[in-house]
Structure 1
Amino acid sequence: MLRTILIGTCVSIQGILVRTLANGMLVVRVGDRIYTGRPVSPA
């Protein structure tokens, strides 16, 4: 499932959901890289 996360205040990344952390943050994979950030709420 594709998910979008925020890294910092203005950088968003969209990738494949890897897991949800206990603090509510998401881990997504883009190619070989893994990113952790806050989920973007739906419009």
Structure 2
Amino acid sequence: MIRTITIGSCVSVQGVVVGQLADGKVMVRVDEKTFVGYPVQAARAS
């Protein structure tokens, strides 16, 4: 599954989910690198 996470105040990364941490953060892999951050909420149509 592909997810988008934020790893800073304005930096986002999109990659394949490789794990989830107890504090709500998600780990995603992009090529050979793994990033950890908070998942971006899905946009909702009104």
What TM-score comes out, normalization by structure 2 length? 0.91
Return the structure number with greater strand share.
1
- Alpha-carbon offset, residue 34 of structure 1: 0.4
Structure 1: gaps of 5 or more residues: none
**Equivalent runs, 1:1-43 vs 2, <5 Å:** 1-43=1-43
Structure showing greater radius of gyration is 2
Say how many residue pairs are matched. Answer: 43
Give the residue type in structure 2 aligned to 1:27. M
- Give 4+ residue runs of structure 1 displaced > 3 Å after superposition: none
Q: C-alpha root-mean-square deviation of aligned residues, in Å?
A: 0.4
What TM-score comes out, normalization by structure 1 length? 0.97
What fraction of aligned residue pairs are identical, expressed as a percent? 51
